[in-house]
């Protein structure tokens, strides 16, 4: 990996992966000047039930089919690292790839409930964070506990292109575009169809 490579990290269950994930990734590549985005397909999200969760191999295959972009790398590296929580995964990735410049990518829906994540504030202190709008979540997310705690470290959008080089904590909130896709809704449609 080249020194200083800018890499976006989009974690999740990807149950299933969908065009919303792709849209966030493509937007991040452009707006943050990233070399690539890694989709960290979680073996099992600690905040989600195992019931209704497709096997990891199926979710990986689906994610690879959805990615459709050579700069998006689908990986289950958390399995290899032996990590379950985002804060631990980020620390392990930094140890393994010390020359990379990682940026954590997330939807506004996750920012809204991030205070429930294990050692959530450590994430903001480990890597810069880019938050992407989601319909019905974005306005509330700006008032979320995490957004309030790190309000003084929020950068204006015109500085987003340099986010990967910022010393954490540093974060941006992209308010557009709003993508309504949800993996939960997609699974519901598949069951009823």
Express each pLDDT in 90-113 by its tens digit. 999 999 999 999 999 999 999 999
Express each pLDDT in 148-159 by its tens digit. 999 999 999 999
pTM above 0.85?
A: yes
Spatial separation of the C-alpha atoms in residues 162 and 22, rounded to whole Å: 22
Coil, strand, or helix at residue 18?
A: coil
6-192: which CATH number, 3.40.50.620, 3.40.190.10, 3.40.50.960, 3.40.47.10? 3.40.50.620
Look at residue 99 in the predicted model and tell me its pLDDT.
Answer: 95
DSSP string, 50-118: STTPPPHHHHHHHHHHHH-STTEEEE-HHHHHT--SHHHHHHHHHHH-TT-EEEEEEEHHHHHHGGGST
Per-residue pLDDT of the chain (193 residues; tens, 9 = 90+): 677 899 999 999 999 999 989 999 999 999 999 999 999 999 876 656 567 789 999 999 999 999 988 999 999 999 999 998 999 999 999 999 999 999 999 999 999 999 999 999 999 999 999 999 987 777 889 999 999 999 999 999 999 999 999 999 999 999 875 545 554 554 455 555 5
Domain chopping of the chain, boundaries: 6-192
What is the number of alpha carbons within 13 Å of residue 120 lying toward its C-beta? Answer: 16
């Amino acid at each position: 990996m080249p020194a200083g490579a800018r890499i976006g990290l989009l974690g999740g269950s990807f149950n299933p992966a969908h065009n919303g994930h792709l849209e966030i990734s493509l937007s991040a590549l452009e707006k943050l000047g990233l070399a690539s985005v890694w989709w960290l397909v979680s073996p099992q999200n600690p905040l989600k039930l195992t019931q209704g969760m497709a096997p990891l191999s199926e979710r990986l295959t689906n994610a690879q089919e959805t990615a459709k972009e050579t700069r998006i790398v689908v990986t289950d590296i958390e399995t290899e690292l032996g990590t379950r929580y985002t804060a631990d995964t980020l620390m392990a990735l930094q140890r393994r790839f010390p020359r990379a410049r990682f940026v954590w990518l997330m939807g506004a829906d996750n920012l809204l409930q991030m205070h429930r994540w294990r050692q959530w504030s450590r994430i903001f202190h480990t890597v810069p964070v880019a938050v992407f709008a989601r319909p019905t979540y974005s306005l509330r997310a700006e008032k979320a506990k995490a957004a309030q705690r790190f309000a003084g470290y929020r950068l204006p959008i015109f500085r987003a292109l340099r986010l990967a080089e910022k010393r954490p904590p540093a974060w941006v909130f992209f308010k557009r575009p709003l993508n309504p896709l949800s993996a939960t809704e997609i699974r519901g449609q598949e069951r009823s169809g």
